[in-house]
Structure 1
Amino acid sequence: MRLNVISTNRLGITQQILTVIAEAKCDIIAMEVAHNHTYVHIKDNGVAYTQLSKQILTIEGVHKIDPVTLLPGEKTAQQLQALFANIPEPIIDIDNKGFIINANRAALTQVALPIEQFVGQPLQSFIQQKLRIYLSGQSTTQEINFAGNPYYADITPVRSEQEVSGAVIVLRSLLNVGRHLSQYQQGVYSGFDSIIGQSQAMLEIKELTRKYASNDLPVLISGETGTGKELLAKALHDNGQRASKPMLAINCAAMPEHMLEAELFGYAAGAFTGAKSGGKPGLLELADGGTVFLDEIAEMDTALQAKLLRFLQDLKIRRLGGVKDRQVDVRIVSASHRNLDEMVEQKTFREDLYYRLNVLQIDLPPIRDRHGDIELLVEHFLKNAAMQVNQPELAMSQQTKAQLVAYHWPGNVRQLQNTIFRLAAQTDNDIIDAPAHFLQDKKSLQNKPQANNALFSNVEQQESWQCAQQDFERQLLSRLYPLYPSTRKLAERLQVSHNKIAMKLRAYGIKTSE
């Protein structure tokens, strides 16, 4: 039986209660003392509850005795055990010699053993790696193989009098890590709701994307910078059978080739200087079952293109410095603003890889070819801008809106969004009313006849075809360089080599910032 003895907080009263219980020849299994409460768990040896209660109530200061189902400590332990058992990640508690003290249901499921056979075993019997906690005594995360499956192990030391007496290990599957990383990358917006546009071209693209989402074939998305290629890739993933799995994205132009290879394929321990001692899985491994989006695929080095091609052939990866192949199941969606057909002809992009990636293709039009969508985009970005500048609502004058619609937007949707956010930050009212020709003030080219004709204003004075060509090149480069202020960016815009652009800029005396 378990009793809750309610009494005054008097010195010696607990000892008197224990004495009465002992005189009744009852064995005490457990006891807990709290303010004005003494909880006792008594072995049932035939003593009646009413008889024992009467004897305890004779003690001065005892007011009441209630039977209880569990002692407070037992109740807390039961609740913690239920919580511990139902946590989906495997959790293992070990002592300072590496022997298992406790484990939750998820860990027992992985090893297919009852708790009695699992507890007391050395953890080293179930993992291949040495835990780094014994080297540093600090909380750490490392990759391990537990019961034949790869995990990230979050290892937290348990200390007793400044000595490490054991550790609690939480195992996180690579799939869950990939899913969390995917959620972080994708943010709030995903699916077709994030693709703003009701023009015929966009409706056809949305319908095509829905069709492509139903299968696992590679997709190549082409379109100018800022047209929303990554948003379309997310919609493709979110509406397919892999939607519950991770979608991980990487920009192939954003990092050096050796780092790009390590990010995609991962690396083994000690693969290179600065590598984590436990190694690191790559995006292809973390996205297992899901989708990997390779943005700006045209910027990938030809050596890495060959490795990607091998992966697409057998869907096996080998980490940098590793010796073991791993089978993964991912869908590849790639994108580029460059003309890959021309790059294949120029031998700067592998033809065999191009055909592997370009099984299904989606071409995103620039917004200058779908003017009917600009007003929808303006309204959408106005709402977002209002939240950014802590305004309940923002509107735009018809004159300003007309200028936005008439502009040809070389940076496409991204440039339009940044322009609206800049206008919202600069306005002091709830109506944005920008000055006339505010877009021209930024030295941007306008999609108007007089702006285009300016390149040919002195056509009558040209002495020869060569002079006219040189004059055209000089004016073209002078106008475009402020918009694309590097030889590489300008070369990409005009689809020529950056060496040619650098040579022309020097020849025409156009000052650069490089």
Structure 2
Amino acid sequence: MRIEIKSEDRMGISQEILSTFTRLALDIQAMEVSSQFIFVHLAKSTISFNKVKQALMNVSGIIHCCKVDLLPSESRERHLRALVNRLPDAIIDIDENARVMALNQASETLLVNHQRHKGVSPLQGEQLKGVQVNTLLDIEIALPLLDNVSSQNIDIAGQSYLAEISPISEQENSSGAVISLKSITSLGRQISIMQTRDEQGIDNIIGRSASILLLKEQTARFAELELPVLINGETGTGKELIARALHNASNRKQAPFLAINCAALPEHLLESELFGYANGAFTGAQKGGKPGLLELAEGGTLFLDEVAEMSPYLQAKLLRFLQDFTFRRLGGSKELQANIRVVSATHQDLLAMISKQKFREDLFYRLNVLNLHSPPLRERAEDIALIARHFVVLASTQMNVKQTTIDENAMKLLCSHRWPGNIRELQNVLFRAVALNEQNNISVQDISVALAQFKQKEVINTVDFKVEDELEDWASAQAKFEEQLISSLYPHYPTTRKLAERLKVSHNKIAMKLRQFHINQ
């Protein structure tokens, strides 16, 4: 029987209440006291609650007395346990000797399944408490426990988990540690969410040109097929956006989408990132090993950007994986299986690389089962205005400035530019133009300055001068070079002063050269 007693705040009243229980020969199992409230847990007795209440109400200062289901501490504990049991990750509380003190429902289920997987009769519920955690799991617990958090990769019921061990400090009036177990699949989903800023579907591919409409149609159709896809396209054409749209339109959209740039890492790091490594695979390896992207992307999509940059060794290893989707971690002996879809991308001509024996032909046919082409911006000029307006709105929002517009002449310049850097270059130019603009209207001058700032070196490189051209003498060759140089730079530095500053000469010289070559000022 549990009783709640509300009383006046006077000295000695608690003692009188206890004396009442003593007179009735009642056994107090627990008692909690707070301002004006006393909660008592009484052992089973033949004395009824009404008799107890009558005796208590005779004490001067008692306001009311009623039965309750739980003491406040018991209620808090029940809520806390319900909260912990709702957590998807398994959590195990251990003492300073690594014995199990408490665990949530997810960890109990996991431990029972692991014991059954090992073929032993499983301990359950209260039986698990007090057991050394390393007899239940293949986990390394260093005693005494240190203050720093550590993590290791462990195998539970045939699946990989990341175990994070967080010691409880003395300041928390306790000792021991909390072990959090995260499945590799859930880790992959978390990484995927961190990599993706916004929802990126087929509708996020901007454009109305015939090539883009065809690309959208093919992407939607290929999304339904469980086959590898190779995306071709120049740098900056949005190949990763297409890969994400393909994933988000597929049945795998709830699973991870993980991307890696094969050109960004040296061979040994790329290998460990893709395939992971086993415990002790090399000096400095993380204790317990580390899962690779093939494991983390389980059930989802792995995007291999710039796949042509893979070394011959990794090309052979990737080919072996694509044959039956089995692999081994670096330094490991256990054969693992991955249920993933591989989407790759490159800006290089793989057939030309195959002819030069720089890319494996058999790997090419494994990756190129389905093919998508991301067209360069110069081949879809009718889409430039749409994309430009999108980036201007995006830039204005991100910079928290008034919405900026693009005037007609500026838009004409954008549409006539060749855009060697494609959509990425267009985005950079427009973000810079918005950042430097003070009138909330982007003019042709703003675009010219932004283009010049981003592409100074490339502008100079556009000067097309061939030594095999028929030239009369040194002076005529020099004059031809100067004419091409001035003609290439003047649209981006449209005043004699700006062009003189760019070439570090006097503005009088620039004016003279403009007149000499009949370049309109």
For the criterion TM > 0.5, the same-fold answer is yes
Give the match's secondary structure for 2:19: helix
TM-superposition CA deviations, 1:58-85 (whole Å, max 9, x none): 3233222233222111111111111122
1:206 partner amino acid: K
1:29 partner amino acid: Q
Aligned-residue offset at 1:394:
1.9
Give the distance between the partners of 2:74 and 2:453, measured in 1 at CA: 72
Give the distance between the partners of 1:27 and 1:254, measured in 2 at CA: 72
| 2:261 counterpart (251, 264, 268) | 251
| 2:181 counterpart (157, 171, 184) | 171
Structure 2 counterpart of 1:82:
82
Structure 2 counterpart of 1:329:
339
Aligned-residue offset at 1:170:
1.4
Give the match's secondary structure for 1:136: coil
Give the distance between the partners of 1:304 and 1:453, measured in 2 at CA: 40
Give the distance between the partners of 1:328 and 1:388, measured in 2 at CA: 39
Give the match's secondary structure for 1:435: helix
Cα contact 1:133–1:139 (8 A) shared by 2: no
Give the distance between the partners of 1:119 and 1:385, measured in 2 at CA: 57
Give the distance between the partners of 1:241 and 1:260, measured in 2 at CA: 28
- List gaps (5 residues or longer) in structure 1: 481-514
Q: Give yes or no for the alignment of 1:435 onto 2:445.
A: yes
CA 165–147 in structure 1, closer or farther in 2 if over 3 Å, else same: farther
Cα contact 2:202–2:220 (8 A) shared by 1: no
Aligned-residue offset at 1:96:
2.6
Give the match's secondary structure for 1:461: coil
Q: Give yes or no for the alignment of 1:207 onto 2:217.
A: yes
Percent of aligned positions that are identical: 43
Give the distance between the partners of 1:184 and 1:440, measured in 2 at CA: 32
Aligned-residue offset at 1:164:
7.5
Give the distance between the partners of 1:392 and 1:60, measured in 2 at CA: 72
Aligned-residue offset at 1:456:
7.8
Structure 1 counterpart of 2:207:
197
Structure 2 counterpart of 1:34:
34
Give the distance between the partners of 2:443 and 2:227, measured in 1 at CA: 47
Structure 1 counterpart of 2:405:
395
Cα contact 1:4–1:40 (8 A) shared by 2: yes
Runs of 4+ in 1 over 6 A off after TM superposition: 161-164, 451-454
Give the distance between the partners of 2:462 and 2:90, measured in 1 at CA: 66
Give the distance between the partners of 1:425 and 1:439, measured in 2 at CA: 10
Q: Give yes or no for the alignment of 1:46 onto 2:35.
A: no
Cα contact 2:2–2:68 (8 A) shared by 1: yes
Aligned-residue offset at 1:244:
1.3
CA 89–442 in structure 1, closer or farther in 2 if over 3 Å, else same: closer
1:308-457, aligned counterparts within 5 Å?
Answer: 308-435=318-445, 437-438=448-449, 441-442=452-453, 444=455, 455=465
Give the distance between the partners of 1:121 and 1:452, measured in 2 at CA: 74
TM-superposition CA deviations, 1:144-194 (whole Å, max 9, x none): 223443211122223458997422211100000001001111221411132
1:98-137, aligned counterparts within 5 Å?
Answer: 98-110=98-110, 111-112=112-113, 113=122, 114-132=124-142, 134=144, 136-137=146-147
1:239 partner amino acid: A
Aligned-residue offset at 1:340:
0.6
CA 452–326 in structure 1, closer or farther in 2 if over 3 Å, else same: closer
CA 145–11 in structure 1, closer or farther in 2 if over 3 Å, else same: farther
Q: Give yes or no for the alignment of 1:302 onto 2:312.
A: yes
Give the distance between the partners of 1:95 and 1:205, measured in 2 at CA: 59
Structure 1 counterpart of 2:511:
none
Give the distance between the partners of 1:386 and 1:161, measured in 2 at CA: 48
| 2:192 counterpart (160, 177, 182) | 182
Aligned-residue offset at 1:408:
1.1
Aligned-residue offset at 1:117:
3.2
Give the match's secondary structure for 1:374: helix
TM-superposition CA deviations, 1:320-374 (whole Å, max 9, x none): 2222221111111110001111000001111111111111111111011001111
Give the match's secondary structure for 1:242: coil
2:156 partner amino acid: F
TM-superposition CA deviations, 1:293-330 (whole Å, max 9, x none): 00001111111111111111121221222222211111
Aligned-residue offset at 1:458:
10
CA 460–392 in structure 1, closer or farther in 2 if over 3 Å, else same: same
Give the match's secondary structure for 2:445: coil
1:283-302, aligned counterparts within 5 Å?
Answer: 283-302=293-312
Cα contact 1:288–1:328 (8 A) shared by 2: yes
Give the distance between the partners of 2:11 and 2:5, measured in 1 at CA: 15
CA 385–159 in structure 1, closer or farther in 2 if over 3 Å, else same: closer
Stretch moving more, 161-170 or 339-348: 161-170
- List gaps (5 residues or longer) in structure 2: 114-121, 490-521
Structure 1 counterpart of 2:61:
61
Cα contact 1:224–1:337 (8 A) shared by 2: yes
Give the distance between the partners of 2:369 and 2:66, measured in 1 at CA: 75
Give the match's secondary structure for 1:169: strand
TM-score by length of 1: 0.84
CA 443–197 in structure 1, closer or farther in 2 if over 3 Å, else same: closer
Give the distance between the partners of 1:305 and 1:205, measured in 2 at CA: 28
Give the match's secondary structure for 1:167: strand
TM-score by length of 2: 0.83
1:355 partner amino acid: Y
Give the distance between the partners of 2:284 and 2:166, measured in 1 at CA: 24
Give the distance between the partners of 2:453 and 2:425, measured in 1 at CA: 13
| 2:277 counterpart (267, 271, 278) | 267
Give the distance between the partners of 1:400 and 1:52, measured in 2 at CA: 90
TM-superposition CA deviations, 1:364-423 (whole Å, max 9, x none): 110110011111111111111012211242212222122111111000001111111111
Cα contact 1:96–1:164 (8 A) shared by 2: no
Aligned-residue offset at 1:139:
2.2
Cα contact 1:271–1:321 (8 A) shared by 2: yes
RMSD across aligned positions (CA): 2.9
Aligned-residue offset at 1:439:
5.9
CA 132–387 in structure 1, closer or farther in 2 if over 3 Å, else same: farther
Structure 1 counterpart of 2:18:
18
1:16 partner amino acid: E
Cα contact 1:221–1:334 (8 A) shared by 2: yes
Give the match's secondary structure for 2:6: strand
Give the distance between the partners of 1:163 and 1:133, measured in 2 at CA: 19
CA 443–72 in structure 1, closer or farther in 2 if over 3 Å, else same: closer
Stretch moving more, 144-153 or 275-284: 144-153
